[in-house]
Amino acid sequence: MLIKLLRSVAAIFVAVAINGSALASTEWDMPIVWPDGNFHVQNARIFADEVNKATDGDVVINIHPGGSLGFKGPEMLTVMRDGLVPIGELLLNQQVGEAPLMGLEATPYLSSGYDDLATLHKHWLPHVQGIAKQFNQMFLYIVPWPRQYVYTKVPVASVADLRGIKIRTYNRSTTGMFNRIGMTSVQLPWGEVVPSLAAGTIDAVTTSASSGVDGKFWEFLKYMYPTSHVWSSNVVSVNLDAWNKLSAANRDAIEGVAKRLQPQFWDVSKAEDAKKVKILTDNGVIYGEVTASMLKDMQEQTAPMLAETIESIGGPAAEIIDAYKRELDN
């Protein structure tokens, strides 16, 4: 009888210990606007798994892709600031309404590829992290999208062929750029792109090959042109109130995971373009040529946007660009 009683008491203590551990653990919901197959979502799942391991299961991050929590991309900076979710993923250049400097990297033809972009980030990101802090958050890692394309229904051989076409854009920079070369920009968040294509309210899209596959563009658009006109990056951001509730050991572990995975995620981005282009062309999208004269026209017509962007942003923008260009020239 005494043994049974002791076993019962022990079982109660075990149950209390287990429940106490469960209550002590941290569970975060992480919204992402991109669909489940997108490489940014896949990166986030890897990050969440590694965080779980690094914190011995004490921090659990649940990934919610496809905008399933109801938040739109351009809202994410303020969503994170207000603590509506503890952690989230956002496209920096969609936040320019709140923080104009976050759109600097998306200035047309500012960077020619990943190496240039990494150099720009060296001078730009410290300022961006400062802005993040003002919005009650901290960016854990940053990953660029692959090169950008222009998708159309009709063949294009020159800038003149683009004039008058309604094109989906996604931020202030791309909207200004395509208006400048004579297209009609329609700025839309990702969730509205495919419905707009289906409804015929847009006839072209600017985005990556990754998003072209996500949206099954072969159902709506016939051609894709590698204009590589802007570069854009996504960050994973954590609300500082939620962050500061973690133990110092867990904060160190999560920062370590982010630092370790970021270069790997950049490599994923670099490989993503060729992989997704193949899927698009296998499904009938024609990979068009951007002629030297067309590229030159696009660069020349959009060149004034750099000075305009620097003046519009103000603050450290000119200093960042000067330091970036000096390093490129050395």
Query: CATH number, domain at 60?
Result: 3.40.190.170
Sheet of 233-239: strand order equals 87-91, 233-239, 137-144
B/e letters for 121-133, b = 16+ CB within 10 Å, e = fewer, are bebbbebbeebbe
Range of the domain at 123: 27-303+314-329
Low-confidence winner among 9-18, 107-116, 171-180, 276-285 (lowest mean pLDDT): 9-18
Low-confidence winner among 15-19, 77-81, 208-212 (lowest mean pLDDT): 15-19
18 falls within a domain: no
pLDDT at 171: 87
7 falls within a domain: no
Q: Which residue has the tokens 């000119």?
A: 318
Query: CA 304, CA 187: separation in Å to the nearest integer?
Result: 21
Query: CA 32, CA 36: separation in Å to the nearest integer?
Result: 9
170 falls within a domain: yes
pLDDT exceeds 90 at position 126: yes
67-110 pLDDT tens trace: 999 999 999 999 999 999 999 999 999 999 999 999 999 999 99
71 falls within a domain: yes
31-70 pLDDT tens trace: 999 999 899 999 999 999 999 999 999 999 999 999 999 9
For residue 126 the two structure tokens come to 């410290």
Cα Rg, the chain, nearest whole Å: 23
21 falls within a domain: no
- What is the pLDDT averaged over residues 140-162? 97
What is the count of structural domains for the chain? Answer: 1
pTM of the model: 0.85
85 falls within a domain: yes
pLDDT exceeds 70 at position 10: no
Beta strands 148-152 and 223-225 are: antiparallel
* Higher per-residue confidence, 240 vs 25: 240
- What is the pLDDT averaged over residues 186-201? 95
